[in-house]
Amino acid sequence: VPLLARVYPNGSADVNHFQAAGGTGFVIRELLAGGLLHTDVRTVSHGGLADYTREPTLDAGRLDWQPAPAVSGDDTIVRPLAQPFSADGGLRVLNGNLGRAIVKVSAVKPEHRVIEAPARVFDSQEALHAAFRNGELERDLVAVVRFQGPRANGMPELHRLTPVLGVLQDRGFKVALVTDGRMSGASGKVPAAIHVTPECLNGGPLARVRDGDVLRLDAERSELMALVPEQDWAQRVPAMIDLDGARWGCGRDLFGFARQMAVGAEQGGGFIAAVPPPLVSLPTATEVTA
């Protein structure tokens, strides 16, 4: 699917500029015309996606629907299918001995799309922030933030990582993020391999990474690798942590059943009518202390 829009963070326009240039109606019409959307999906509008190629207007106080603009109002923000910003879109799927992940490349400069550097492993975004404040991250690194998947802690938003890693990149360091968690669409200039599947709590290989392992995130060749000798990698036991603190308070205890039933991020992270993967037994707080 080609890239048809330049909206922050892969451009300077905001959503209001996007709407003025043609908006969703323009983009959906272009994608439908190119056979890139399923026309038979059900939506809240009885006409399906075709209804979304029109825009609501008021005519003498009455609701009226008009076709979306036939021509882009600003081709630096929205373009037709025949003139995309990029022929292969803004997302890539990565594969390797760390699992499968997605990375958004539309906002990442070409010189930052291939990162090979030692890993620094964290079990929360708060731990990464603490290391940054202590001056421990002033170097090339691949930050690994693990146990952030659907079954571990409900897959919370990790947007607080973006500013910190962006500062390091601006200081000239080669920086990337690898996580089994998620980030919002506002994540941008730092290459981030997110939704790593299988997640760490379910025995995913990301849990085998240790501080100092050299990792490679290659968004050009769609690779996500730990450059560790194969025999050593196969013999490693995945790390485990006590997640009790992420399962209580703020209503988290009410959704414990959902986390236990959740499938992987690649399957949508849902739990309704899902066959859950095997539950990985975690050590108790007493065992962790011992």
**pLDDT tens, 34-70?**
999 998 888 888 888 999 999 888 888 899 989 999 9
At 126-141, the pLDDT tens digits run 999 999 999 999 999 9
Model pLDDT for residues 63-95, shown as the tens digit of each residue: 998 999 999 999 999 999 999 998 888 889 999
Instruction: Quote the CA–CA distance of 27 and 67 in Å, as a whole number.
Output: 12
* Res. 145: pLDDT tops 60: yes
d(CA 262, CA 149): 9
**Pairing of β 91-96 and β 114-122:** unpaired
Counting residues of the chain whose pLDDT is more than 70, the rounded percentage is 92
CATH of 91-235, one of 3.40.50.300, 3.90.25.10, 3.50.30.80, 1.10.760.10: 3.50.30.80
| Adjacent-strand bridge partners of 224 | 217
pLDDT (0 to 100) of residue 176: 97
Residue 135 φ/ψ, nearest 5 degrees: 75, 25
Backbone φ and ψ for 110, nearest 5 degrees, come out as -50, -35
Higher pLDDT, 20 or 246: 20
pTM of the predicted model as reported, rounded to 2 decimal places:
0.80
Smallest CA-to-CA distance from 116 within 91, 145, 140, 92 is with 140
pLDDT surpasses 50 at 282: no
Cα Rg, the chain, nearest whole Å: 22
Label residue 4 by pLDDT band (50, 70, 90).
Answer: very high
Burial class (CB in 10 A: 0-12, 13-18, 19+), 264: buried
For the chain, the structural domain boundaries read 1-88, 91-235, 244-289
